[in-house]
Amino acid sequence: MLPRTALSLFVLLSLSPWVQASSDEKEVRHSIDHVTVYRQGAQIKRTANTVVPGGTSTLVFPDLPTAIDPSQVRITGTGDFTILSVTHRYHTDTLSGAESQAERERLQKERNDLYHKMQQEQHWYTILDKEEQLLASHTQFTVKDSGVDLARLVDATKFMRARRIELLQERQAIDQRIGDMQANLTKLDLAMGALPPLRTETHLEMLIHTEAAAQTSGTISFGYWMQSAGWDPAYNARVESVTDPLKLESIALVKQQTGEDWDRVNLSVSTGTPNRNRSKPNLTPWFLHANHQGHAGAAASTAAAANNWLKTQPYNPAVRQVRGQLYDAQGQPLIGATVSVSGGRNTVTDINGFYMIDVPTNARNISYQSMGMVAENIAVSNSVMNVAMAPAMERLEEVSVAYFSDGIAVEDESDRGSLFGSRRERAAQRAAQAFDYASVTVQSTPTQTRFDIAAKYTIASDGIVQSVRIKDMEVPTEFLYQATPKLDAQAYLMAHIMDWEELDLISGRLRIYFEDDFVGESTLALNLASDTLSLSLGPDPAIQVRRKLKGHDNKSNIITGKRELERTWEITVDNRKQQPIRIVIDDQLPLSNDEDVEVKAESLGGGKLDKDTGRVEWDITVKPSERKNIRFKYGVQAPRDTPIRLDS
């Protein structure tokens, strides 16, 4: 026997699945003390303070969920006693209907007997059918060389008539008896249906066998893993002013269907994934094969390889919302791609290729479609699904673009609502409320980060998402406006976060608020972020950007015989805010793929030209209530018979 000192034991369960109840068993009340929720799954710890009897005894921990794997339960104990072994058994309680079980069995026996009698009557029906067939086969009453024997014919006719009447009467009697039996069967079924149903509930019981020199107090804890739980990260990004730091609120969206409610438990959320493969994959030999599909075929192979892991994941019924990003084989986001699930739900990707869609209970797959790309249909397996799409090999003869409004396709762009709506409409969507939150302790390991929350939480086993606040951060941010007035007259505010790796962030849903207005929802995709994390806060109506054609000169050069076309454009920026802003504006010069057509930048107004793309960029600062003008001019020389369009 081990010394009776303060004892801390770590015990893996012995594999004996059943132990008969004995007179020295003592039932111990226990409760959930702490839950650590992982991205998929949860580690639950139960604790009980009890009195351990002297000698050998068995402590029974009842009412545990049957989803627990007994072989994976870990036991620890503290006190002046020894844990000899740990076993388990299952106990079934009758919740209701026990008093009617005898009557149900009696009615079921009566029904079985009645059904057997009905089968016997059906057999009599078969015998009567055979007899009638026999009578029908004996209809020849002739004598050789003398023709029909009338006397025999008369006697036979009388016999057949009488016998067929008897057969008909017997059939009618059988039908009557079968009808009565069917009526009685219906009555028996109604009587059994009226009885209270037999409802049972099965629980797991853990049995801890102990030995102590004398009665003593002790504490016993045991932990176990439950798969039907998890959490998804979400963030609220709030910007009060471009002169203030960005406020980032980190939230865990926790849900569980483990079969046991978590009532006022100490809660931790961890970024780890214990159920994932913890070993490095090994390389296999790489053989080169001839590829006659060219660049499109190579891109298709790249996209297929990127989706291989996702397609091997099984369907996960616990996932009720999926978000992610669609991109092509080169990693560029796919804008306006359609994401849909069965049941008529669909959405389109935003300007960064991100999407989010709710998954109904009967939907097992998600369909991804984008113009010029091969459609993908992948099982719902994770709450975050990033999908690469390969280019289609066929040439598109006709392209039809549909816009979606509330899940319904509309043909005219004018049928779509505005992106943000009026200030009053956006105010109705605000979710910003002031709360006092519990403190959170952050613990980091080389492979995961765990957030220990000081408050106690109650989370029911109903699959409903509970928002658990993790922490608030004020993040130093560089705010920058960006505009492309050739395509859109709005100025978009961008927030650039440096050193974001130190913030313990993981990819998740992002809700953005600017000056107390709800701007929109996107996805924080850290797997695509570089040293600087960029967030789009949407357009700012206080910044006006306009583009106007100021010079239009077409003339012919007598010496060269070419047309000389000159265009002068002016971009105007109005800052109606109370603080200065920095804005980056881009436009473009045309590029020529004809050696007879020459493009020349006459004046760029301080802009920087990328000669490979024709993109011109201006990085300027505009003071409060100031208007700044940018002018740029370019010329094109082309043969007289070459059509050139420059008015855009």
pLDDT digits (tens, 9 = 90+) for 129-146: 888 888 777 666 555 555
Using a pLDDT cut of 90, give the percent of the chain over it.
31
Residue 362 CA to residue 359 CA, distance in Å, equals 8
CA 462 to chain centre: 17
**CA pseudo-torsion sign 486, 492, 498, 503:** negative
Question: CB–CB of 118/181 below 8 Å?
Answer: yes
Give which of 146, 189, 139, 188 is closest to 164, Cα–Cα.
139
pLDDT of residue 585: 95
pLDDT of residue 252: 92
Task: With cut-offs at 50, 70 and 90, classify the pLDDT of residue 3.
Answer: very low
Residue 293 CA to residue 393 CA, distance in Å, equals 9
Q: How many residues does the chain have?
A: 648
- The two three-digit tokens of residue 160, written as one number: 């057949």
Domain spanning 101-195 has what CATH number?
1.10.287
Residue 519 CA to residue 512 CA, distance in Å, equals 5
pLDDT of residue 280: 65
Task: With cut-offs at 50, 70 and 90, classify the pLDDT of residue 151.
Answer: confident
What is the longest distance spanned by two Cα atoms in the chain? Answer: 134
Which residues are CB-contacts of 353 (< 8 A; sequence separation ≥ 6)? 325, 326, 327, 333, 334, 335, 337
Question: CB–CB of 620/583 below 8 Å?
Answer: yes
Element of type H or E holding 119? helix 101-136
If DSSP codes are grouped into helix, strand and coil, which group holds residue 309? helix
Q: Which CA distances in Å does 507 have to 38, 445, 503, 583?
A: 15, 19, 12, 28
Task: With cut-offs at 50, 70 and 90, classify the pLDDT of residue 300.
Answer: low
Secondary structure string (H, E, C) spanning 158-173: HHHHHHHHHHHHHHHH
Domain spanning 294-392 has what CATH number?
2.60.40.1120
Bridge partners of residue 470, in order along the sequence: none
Question: CB–CB of 355/369 below 8 Å?
Answer: no
CA 436 to chain centre: 31
pLDDT of residue 417: 39
Task: With cut-offs at 50, 70 and 90, classify the pLDDT of residue 6.
Answer: very low
Give which of 12, 14, 8, 19 is closest to 72, Cα–Cα.
12
Question: CB–CB of 508/383 below 8 Å?
Answer: no
Give which of 229, 111, 239 is closest to 466, Cα–Cα.
229
Q: What is the mean pLDDT of residues 160-167?
A: 85
Asked which of 22-26, 50-54, 289-293 is least confident by mean pLDDT, the reply is 289-293
Single-letter code of the amino acid located at 199: R
Give which of 501, 357, 471, 490 is closest to 418, Cα–Cα.
490
Task: With cut-offs at 50, 70 and 90, classify the pLDDT of residue 301.
Answer: low
287, pLDDT greater than 70: no
Q: Among the ranges 40-49, 277-286, 329-338, which has the highest mean pLDDT value? A: 40-49
Task: With cut-offs at 50, 70 and 90, classify the pLDDT of residue 288.
Answer: low
Secondary structure string (H, E, C) spanning 427-469: HCCCCCCCCCCCCEEEEECCCCEEEEEEEEEEECCCCCCEEEE
Tokens 């359609």 belong to 338
Task: Share the mean pLDDT of the chain.
Answer: 80
If DSSP codes are grouped into helix, strand and coil, which group holds residue 504? coil
Task: With cut-offs at 50, 70 and 90, classify the pLDDT of residue 310.
Answer: confident
Question: Which pLDDT tens digit goes with each residue over 232-256?
Answer: 999 998 888 878 888 889 999 999 9
Question: Which pLDDT tens digit goes with each residue over 560-593?
Answer: 778 889 999 999 999 998 889 999 999 999 998 8
Residue 101 CA to residue 489 CA, distance in Å, equals 77
Residue 527 CA to residue 220 CA, distance in Å, equals 43
| Assessment of whether the complete model's pTM goes beyond 0.75 | no
The H-assigned helical ranges of 380-440 are 423-427
Task: With cut-offs at 50, 70 and 90, classify the pLDDT of residue 607.
Answer: very high
Burial of 424 (0-12, 13-18, 19+ CB in 10 A): exposed
Bridge partners of residue 357, in order along the sequence: 322
pLDDT of residue 402: 43
One DSSP character per residue, 32-65 reads EEEEEE-SEEEEEEEEEEEEEPSEEEEEEEEEE-
Burial of 485 (0-12, 13-18, 19+ CB in 10 A): buried
268, pLDDT greater than 50: yes
Q: What does the domain layout of the chain look like in residue ranges?
A: 101-195, 294-392, 540-639
The answer for 372, left when phi > 0, alpha when psi is -120 to 50, beta otherwise, is: left
CA angle 485, 486, 488 (to 5 degrees): 55
CA 126 to chain centre: 59
**Do the domains spanning 294-392 and 540-639 agree at the CATH topology level?**
yes
Single-letter code of the amino acid located at 503: L
Q: What is the mean pLDDT of residues 274-292?
A: 58
420, pLDDT greater than 80: no
One DSSP character per residue, 63-76 reads EE-TTS-GGG-EEE
Task: With cut-offs at 50, 70 and 90, classify the pLDDT of residue 482.
Answer: very high
Strands 11-12 and 74-79: antiparallel
pLDDT of residue 303: 63
- The two three-digit tokens of residue 574, written as one number: 């109005």
Correct CATH for 540-639 of 3.40.50.970, 2.60.40.3680, 1.10.600.10, 3.20.10.10: 2.60.40.3680
Question: Which pLDDT tens digit goes with each residue over 27-77?
Answer: 999 999 999 999 889 999 999 999 999 999 999 999 999 888 888 889 888
Residue 202 CA to residue 209 CA, distance in Å, equals 22
Give which of 40, 30, 24 is closest to 75, Cα–Cα.
30
Task: With cut-offs at 50, 70 and 90, classify the pLDDT of residue 450.
Answer: confident
Give which of 538, 541, 533, 491 is closest to 513, Cα–Cα.
538
pLDDT of residue 426: 43
